[in-house]
Structure 1
Amino acid sequence: MVAEEDLYTTLGVERGASDSEIKRAYRKLAQQWHPDVNKEPEAQERFKEINEAYQVLSDPGRRQRYDTFGRAGLGGNGAGESDFGFGGFSDIFDAFFGGAQASAARRGRPQPGSDLRYDLRIGFEEAVAGTDKEIEFEVLGRCETCAGSGARPGSSPVTCNQCGGRGEVRSVRQTMLGQMVNVQACPRCLGEGKVVDDPCETCRGDGRTERKRALRVTIPAGIDEGHQIRLSSEGEVGPRGGPSGSLYVAVHVTPHPSLKRDGTELYHQAEISIVQAALGTRINVPTVEGDEEIEIKPGTQPDTEIRLRGRGVPHLRRSGARGDLHVLVDVVVPTKLSKRQRELLEAYAKEAGEETAPAGFFDKVRDVLG
């Protein structure tokens, strides 16, 4: 006698699995093993086992009896107590045809409008400090003639006579597993449940017309290249009174000539001479608020980093927090020296007891020629 597989094992879930976990596992397996999709010889039997397991575990009462008594608690029909229709066929339909979107298309309500994208370029300082921008774009808005209904003024959309206003049509076919119910958006009303028999002359029944739109967009301080700002309900209006989509403003930031950004941190490469490094000096460095004078201490070494705290980019999600500005010091060694400069450096080297290379032939010629 072959032992029957545990129903939880059939669905690949733990015994303490929640209802949503059981439904999710069932949808995944149903999509994988449905005979209309899977042509393997064992698919038919496997799909039947999956369906039977779900019929039990999705019913709180039957699941409790199974947990207590096993299959014996399910009566003579075992796990297959219910007829093999599909129980809740919408679960199978969602798994095959796109889940929530497919369900929404069958509810007999207006279709939503499309989302839009607007590419906006701003300056580096604007991205750091934040700003407001006026944008203008073309969009499908509600037709003013028919107020978005799509019907000629004085008339109204009527209930679709093909689906009776449900927005969906069903067909049933017999298979070796039982009846198969197919649910589709109504081809006449496109899932809306209503049709326009006397269309508006302005929008030709669509309920929308093209127009220019102006909006003021707030750019938050600290926004970066590639970030998007979503403005809900500012996209295209749906046909015949459908809800509006969203507008996504994609932000592009113009690079700064001498500041580099990494998240909330800013970096600047500052060049100083060997004399300035040795003796110290003060130099101007750029910040997003304008140039600022900083001190170079005597004896500053190459690649020294001077950090200006709180002079970087604001954190988008931490109010008041701000990154730092890192000044990376680059000590520039001269490649050409005048005769006087060389004499001074040689005198320094002699005083410090350091060995130096003698002047080359071309250096001497250059000194003679001035």
Structure 2
Amino acid sequence: MSKRDYYEVLGVGKTAAADEIKKAYRKVAMQYHPDRNPGDKTAEEKFKEAAEAYEVLSDADKKAQYDRFGHAGVSGNGRGNGGYGGGMNMDDIFSQFGDIFGEDVFGSFFNGGARGGGGRGSQRARGTRGSNLRIKLKLTYEEIAKGVTKNIKVKKYVGCTTCNGSGAKDSGSVQTCGTCGGSGQVRKVTSTFLGQMQTVTTCPNCNGEGSTITAKCGSCKGEGRVYGEETVTIDIPAGVQEGMQLNISGRGNAGERGGAPGDLIILVEEEPHKELQREGLNVVFDLHLSFPEAAFGANVEVPTIDGRAKIKIPAGTQSGKIFRLKGKGFPAVNSYEKGDQLVHVNIWTPQELTSEEKSMLEKLAKSPNFQPNPDKNQKSFFDKVREMFQ
């Protein structure tokens, strides 16, 4: 099933500013929020779809890639089923975007929400989000043309398995924050000439986590993560280009103390081909023909990204002639368009000649048919050449 356009999901245009995108996301997310639609799977999927769209359109780099390449530019084989949003669970979404819904909005409207005692909307994000990782991935022409699945080893911060990312020595080492009472927020009421004003700020004692650690995990020293290695499976779509970035959500560095992980950003590099060159969607090959082959015509084989192909060279082919092999180029990432292969003909001039060869060429040089004249019938010239080489 194809994904809907992200701008359509949020109901904004491509020129929408960051504030407009944020406002639109909040509106859609509030409409389909699980606390407002308990047990409604359709609403839950639309809620995740909106989070997926916002995750891309709220990030300038991801938005630029999406505008240029569509879904292929911002997809990969990330967590779960391999994209944004759809591979995120509810905790991921609220951890990353919970602040957009406002402070305790669902706790006040729904008296505790689905989780009780504060609802989803008021739940504070745990820990610190991990940083993004950038890696370069070299691809051959053949891999680019057909698409490929790569398994790569990435050195990065991963969640600590000893404490399951909590950073605590054991469950008894995690205590409710005494400053905020576990809410992660501190409320302050001040009197002004307009009356009493209430402000809500992040708890300075627990940094909004709602809990504190009395004894740190010995393996990760309280960070909830350790430096290690992870094998990541990446689906590369056909038609990617040099310099293109693929963003894989949640496969970057693990966050501290259970925080959301960062993203893995793949920078595509093309391995040079020993015979072919790329020009956009087209592939270019320089074909060198001997003088007799160009004069008499010939059947030759040329390399393509799909293997080798035979082409017929007509008699009298001139240097600089371009033959086009339809559909033998690269596919476009975000459409059904496909490039061609262009075969540039070059006539090879011998650099060393025997005395007999020089004598034959000297005779030819005296013939008027040997002089360049595109408008003249050169049939008699070809006949003479055939006789000389028979």
Q: TM-score range, shorter-chain basis? A: 0.5 to 0.7
Q: Distance in 1 between matches of 2:270 and 2:371?
A: 51
User: Is structure 2 residue 320 aligned with structure 1 residue 310?
Assistant: no
Which segment drifts farther, 198-207 or 165-174?
165-174
- Does the 8 A contact of 2:216 with 2:222 survive in 1? yes
1:342–1:127 Cα change, 3 Å: same
Offset from partner CA, 1:69-114 (integer Å, 9 cap, x none): xxxxxxxxxxxxxxxxxxxxxxxxxxxxxxx899799974223222
Determine which of 313, 332, 347 is the counterpart of 1:331: 347
In structure 2, which of residues 134, 138, 148 is the aligned counterpart of residue 121 of structure 1? 138
Find the residue that maps to 2:172 and give its secondary structure.
Answer: coil
Offset from partner CA, 1:286-330 (integer Å, 9 cap, x none): 1112232221111111211101111111222225x4211100111
Question: Alignment partner of 1:342: what SS?
Answer: helix
Say if 2:341 is the partner of 1:296: no
Tell me by how many angstroms 1:173 deviates: 10
Conserved? CA contact 2:159–2:254, under 8 Å: yes
Indicate the residue corresponding to 1:62 in structure 2. Answer: none
**Counterpart in 2 of 1:34?**
none
Alpha-carbon distance between aligned partners in 2 of 1:245 and 1:105, rounded to the nearest angstrom = 23
- Equivalent residue of 1:216, what SS? strand
Secondary structure of 2:143's counterpart equals helix
Distance 1:277 1:173, change over 3 A: farther
Query: What secondary structure sits across from 1:117 in the alignment?
Result: strand
Alignment of 1:179-194 (within 5 A): 185-194=202-211
Q: Of 165, 172, 175, which aligns to 1:155?
A: 172
Distance 2:339 2:370 in 1: 43
1:220 aligned residue: 237
Pairing of 1:74-153 with structure 2 (within 5 A): 108-110=124-126, 111-153=128-170
Q: In structure 2, do the counterparts of structure 1 residues 302 and 192 end up closer, same or farther at CA, with 3 Å as the change threshold?
A: same
For residues 301 and 204 of structure 1, the distance between their equivalents in structure 2, rounded to whole angstroms, comes to 74
- 1:255 maps to a residue whose letter is P
CA spacing shift, 1:210–1:350, aligned 2, 3 Å: closer
Residue of structure 2 equivalent to 1:247: 264
Give the share of equivalent positions with the same residue, in percent: 36
Whether the 8 Å CA contact 1:237–1:244 is kept in 2: the answer is yes
Please, what TM-score do these two structures have when normalized by structure 1?
0.59
Counterpart residue type for residue 288 of structure 2 = E
1:269 aligns with 2:286: yes
CA offset at residue 340 of structure 1? 2.5
Q: Does 1:236 align with 2:264?
A: no
Aligned CA RMSD, in angstroms, stands at: 3.7
Which of 352, 356, 377 is equivalent to 1:340? 356
Q: 1 CA distance for matches of 2:291 and 2:323?
A: 17
CA distance in 2, matches of 1:165, 1:109: 12
Alignment gaps of 5+ in structure 1 = 1-19, 25-99, 357-370
Q: How many residues were matched structurally?
A: 261
Shift of 1:336: 4.5
Structure 1 counterpart SS, 2:138: strand
1:9-28 mapped onto 2 (5 Å cutoff): none
Unaligned regions of 5+ residues in structure 2, if any? 1-15, 21-96, 104-121, 373-390
Q: From the superposition, tell whether residues 282 and 354 of structure 1 become closer, same or farther in structure 2 (CA, over 3 Å).
A: closer
TM-score by length of 2: 0.56
Structure 2 counterparts to residues 170-185 of structure 1, below 5 A: 185=202
Residue type matched to 1:239 in 2? E
Q: Distance in 2 between matches of 1:339 and 1:179?
A: 108
Cα deviation for residue 347 of structure 1 reads 3.0
Match of 2:387 in 1: none
Answer with 1 or 2: which has the greater Rg. Answer: 1
Contact 1:151–1:157 under 8 Å retained in 2: yes
Query: 2: CA distance between counterparts of 1:355 and 1:228?
Result: 53
Q: Contact 1:120–1:251 (CA<8 Å) still a contact in 2?
A: yes
Q: Tell me the distance in 1 between the aligned counterparts of 2:155 and 2:196.
A: 49
Equivalent residue for 1:258?
275
